[in-house]
């Protein structure tokens, strides 16, 4: 079977599909990942076939400048949809149509707005995916919306109130999606069609929830045919020999360190975060490992208790942490949960505040907003994570449960069953 995965976003939006694609390939099928040209190298390094999908990341402009606009809690979603993807729909459609020629199944990420159009136009079986609970817009378990976190207080009024609240973003999204409706008309499809960022993202046949039911349980108002898979984890190639040796030497030289990481997106807007991280470690008299995404020399001379790496696969560092500090992006969070260590989550934007809510509710994490994550604030939140044994015990127990889930295998089984029903 030839299965095309179409995805946009950060590495956290790429790695789960690589994990599933590798399992499909192991079973003898032919997966292809269609995504940004900038991700060609990590896809091909995973031994999965690659297809380019416009727009180009380079065309968005300076990445740090773009990210600062995207993390704005009110304007960020509109920038992402209206300015970055809607102007390039026809290019995306052309590229995906080329990549999907002869495919048996399309697996679509929520940001690939042309995927459902292509499937409808060509009669191509397709499955939708969601990476985080926020994307399911459950009124039964209302999410924390970055632009209006206070809205969650309305849950005391029942699910009806939240269904009413969801009408507000729906109206905004309708306006943002005007170019998509024009493309639908040009393709001879019904206009305007469903709201692509809400119900329009879900396949009526199969929707894969690519997170663990231990992290966020099934809700009665999720889309029909949703399969909870677990976290399909892929973390890139292992460190080179020199990096691994340096990591091993640091880990062996003292007590488990605090590990600070900002994922592949928030790292672009780090500002003084790393200095605050060093200050937090100093206040707690803890060793620290910083995964900065930037040349270590930018932080100047550091004591031997602080070690900086520009890049490490999280699976090589997180299991050795006393506690993990990260923004709560779903890919980073999946690795942190699998590592079984307590977490301090410093959410920046997107799904991160809602992911932090779930992790805190599980008793494995604490949270402080990124903009308030000073050295003093992080030290204050880290202190109970380090001093109260319950956090570590619950984190270890959850890691065992998540580790027992065959997420990539469950996703593959669901996809192949979908093909068998249409074959």
For the segment 11-24, what is each residue's pLDDT rounded down to a tens digit? 999 999 999 999 99
Task: Say what the pTM is.
Answer: 0.94
Q: How far apart are CA 406 and CA 20, in angstroms?
A: 10
Residue 256, preceding peptide bond in cis (omega within 30° of 0): no
Q: How far apart are CA 281 and CA 306, in angstroms?
A: 9
Residue 170: predicted pLDDT: 81
Q: Tell me how many degrees the CA angle 219-72-377 measures, rounded to the nearest 5.
A: 85
Q: How far apart are CA 17 and CA 218, in angstroms?
A: 22
Q: How far apart are CA 4 and CA 169, in angstroms?
A: 30
Same domain (yes/no): 253, 219 = no
Q: How far apart are CA 324 and CA 342, in angstroms?
A: 6
The reply to whether 236 falls in a domain is no
Residue 155: predicted pLDDT: 67
Same domain (yes/no): 345, 360 = yes
- C-alpha dihedral (14, 20, 26, 30), degrees to nearest 10: -70
CB neighbourhood size of 186 (10 A): 11
What CATH number does residue 91 fall under?
3.40.50.2000
Distances (CA, A) of 140 to 102, 136, 151, 192: 40, 11, 14, 28
Same domain (yes/no): 70, 212 = yes
Percent helix, percent strand, percent coil in the chain, to nearest 5: 50, 10, 35
Distances (CA, A) of 18 to 232, 324, 411: 9, 24, 12
Q: How far apart are CA 265 and CA 243, in angstroms?
A: 23
- 321, 256 Cβ separation under 8 angstroms: yes
The reply to whether 357 falls in a domain is yes
Q: How far apart are CA 423 and CA 418, in angstroms?
A: 9
| Residue ranges for the chain with pLDDT beneath 70 | 148-157, 295-297, 421-423
Same domain (yes/no): 214, 248 = no
- 231, 16 Cβ separation under 8 angstroms: yes
Backbone angles phi, psi at 30, to 5 degrees: -120, 85
Distances (CA, A) of 225 to 106, 127, 230: 16, 10, 16
Same domain (yes/no): 261, 316 = yes
- 264, 332 Cβ separation under 8 angstroms: no
Same domain (yes/no): 61, 175 = yes
Exposure b/e, 36-50, CB count within 10 A at least 16 = b: bbebeebbeebebbb
Residue 242: predicted pLDDT: 96
Residue 157: predicted pLDDT: 66
Residue 296: predicted pLDDT: 61
Residue 58: predicted pLDDT: 87
Q: How far apart are CA 93 and CA 51, in angstroms?
A: 13
The reply to whether 72 falls in a domain is yes
The reply to whether 253 falls in a domain is yes
Which residue, among 224, 236, 155, 210, has the nearest Cα to 330 in the 3D structure?
210
Residue 308: predicted pLDDT: 94
Residue 343: predicted pLDDT: 98
The reply to whether 260 falls in a domain is yes
The reply to whether 321 falls in a domain is yes
Same domain (yes/no): 46, 87 = yes
Residue 139: predicted pLDDT: 87
Same domain (yes/no): 332, 305 = yes
Residue 151: predicted pLDDT: 67
Same domain (yes/no): 148, 295 = no
Domain count, the chain: 2
Classify 237 as helix, strand or coil. coil
Classify 27 as helix, strand or coil. coil
Quickly list DSSP for 268-312. GG-TTHHHHHHHHHHHHT--EEEE-SS-GGGG----TTEEEES--
Residue 94: predicted pLDDT: 98
Residue 369, preceding peptide bond in cis (omega within 30° of 0): no
Same domain (yes/no): 357, 414 = no
Same domain (yes/no): 223, 247 = no
Residue 257: predicted pLDDT: 98
Q: What is the sign of the dihedral through the CA atoms of 221, 112, 346 and 76?
A: negative
Return the structure tokens found at 272: 């003084």
Could you report the per-residue pLDDT of 303-334, keeping only the tens digit for each? Answer: 999 999 999 999 999 999 999 999 999 999 99
Return the structure tokens found at 84: 């970055």
Same domain (yes/no): 179, 258 = no
The boundaries of the domain holding residue 62 are: 2-231+406-422
In the numeric block, the tokens 């305007």 are attached to: 192
The reply to whether 111 falls in a domain is yes
């Amino acid at each position: 079977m030839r299965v095309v995965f179409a995805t946009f976003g950060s590495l956290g939006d790429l790695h789960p599909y690589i994990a599933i694609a590798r399992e499909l390939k192991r079973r003898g099928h032919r997966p292809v990942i269609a995504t940004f040209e900038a991700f060609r190298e990590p896809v091909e390094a995973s031994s999965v076939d690659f297809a380019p999908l416009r727009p180009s990341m380079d065309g968005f402009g300076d990445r740090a400048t773009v990210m600062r606009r995207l993390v704005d809690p009110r304007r960020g979603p509109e920038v992402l949809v209206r300015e970055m993807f809607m102007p390039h729909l026809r290019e995306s459609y052309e590229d995906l149509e080329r990549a999907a020629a002869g495919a048996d199944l399309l697996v679509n990420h929520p940001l690939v707005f042309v995927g459902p159009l292509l499937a409808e136009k060509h009669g191509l079986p397709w499955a939708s995916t969601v990476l985080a609970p926020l994307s399911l817009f459950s009124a039964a378990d209302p999410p924390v919306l970055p632009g209006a976190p206070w809205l969650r207080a309305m849950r005391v009024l029942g699910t009806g109130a939240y269904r009413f609240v969801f009408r507000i973003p729906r109206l905004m999204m309708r306006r943002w999606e005007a170019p998509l409706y024009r493309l639908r008309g040009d393709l001879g499809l019904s206009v305007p069609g469903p709201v692509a960022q809400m119900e329009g993202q879900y396949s009526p046949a199969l929707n894969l929830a690519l997170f663990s039911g231990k992290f966020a349980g099934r809700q009665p108002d999720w889309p029909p045919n949703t399969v909870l898979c677990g976290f399909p984890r892929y973390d890139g190639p292992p460190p080179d020999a020199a990096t691994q040796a340096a990591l091993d030497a640091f880990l062996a030289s003292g007590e488990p360190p605090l590990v600070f990481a900002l994922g592949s997106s928030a790292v672009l807007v780090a500002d003084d975060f790393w200095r605050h991280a060093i200050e937090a470690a100093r206040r707690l008299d803890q060793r620290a490992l910083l995964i900065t995404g930037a040349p270590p020399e930018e932080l100047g001379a550091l004591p031997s208790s602080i070690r900086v790496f520009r890049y490490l696969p999280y699976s090589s560092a997180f299991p050795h942490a006393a506690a993990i500090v990260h923004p709560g992006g779903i890919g980073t969070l999946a690795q942190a949960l699998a590592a079984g260590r307590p977490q301090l989550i410093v959410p920046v934007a997107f799904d991160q505040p809602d992911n932090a809510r779930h992790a805190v509710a599980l008793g494995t994490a604490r949270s402080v907003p990124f903009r308030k994550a000073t050295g003093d604030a992080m030290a204050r939140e880290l202190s109970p994570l380090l001093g109260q044994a319950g956090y570590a015990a619950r984190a270890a127990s959850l890691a065992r449960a998540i580790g027992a889930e065959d997420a990539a295998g469950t996703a593959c089984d669901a996809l192949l069953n979908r093909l068998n029903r249409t074959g």
